[in-house]
Structure 1
């Protein structure tokens, strides 16, 4: 609640008249006003608890401290790039076909290893070709050209395994 100039003047004049003083002392004014909860200015000074009033006072002090100063701020422009993330699932272990006759076994799969990736693709193409042959009748009315293209594209690799 902010008072206009005339209202503030009337409040202070009332305080001076009631106390008989001819000079305004802010500390005495607050003490005088503290005993008058019905006064129109009371909520302005005593309308909040002490902790809130102390915080507001400190904020006011900080504003006065920064008033008139020049603040220099460094602004950095950050270039943003769009990253695309491709999530792929791989088996943890693969059994290479070439080593199966000798007893073979499973080997840990590393997607960065070109030989391991080629082996997985060979096995995938063989499985895909088998699936296409097995379910050709069930999907006769469905366009499987994209799947057939993948199976045919790598058929040379699959047959050489």
Structure 2
């Protein structure tokens, strides 16, 4: 269907100071809807934080780069740094994220996803959406805390 992503993933642009490894389904829209109704929330957040870039860590990463870039507003496209590799049918997304981060010398990152089963338990770099419809103000508050403090948790009430 789409070309394979190589074992190291793809680097399109050098990442910025902080990186969000982004899942699409259950984050940018409800699972399997492909409506991207929550993308404006994320893009609004990114416009306030120029130090953050995006790496696609979604099954959508298999789509051609131009299709992926078209999903985002023109001013946000330059913030797309690439996509993670698939390490195997049963690999954990946390492994894929860590591999990309290590190979591209990224230290300050989080994985924003909807499925906790894709990550190691208690992994400090994950932010799992709580709403069935995707990204919410709750996760945006967590992202804001991370953007300002390089930590997802600590001192925030739900």
More helix by share: 1
Flag the structure with larger Rg.
Answer: 1
TM over 0.5: no
More strand by share: 2
Relative contact order (C-alpha < 8 Å, sep 6+): which is higher? Answer: 2
TM-score tier, shorter chain, comes to under 0.3
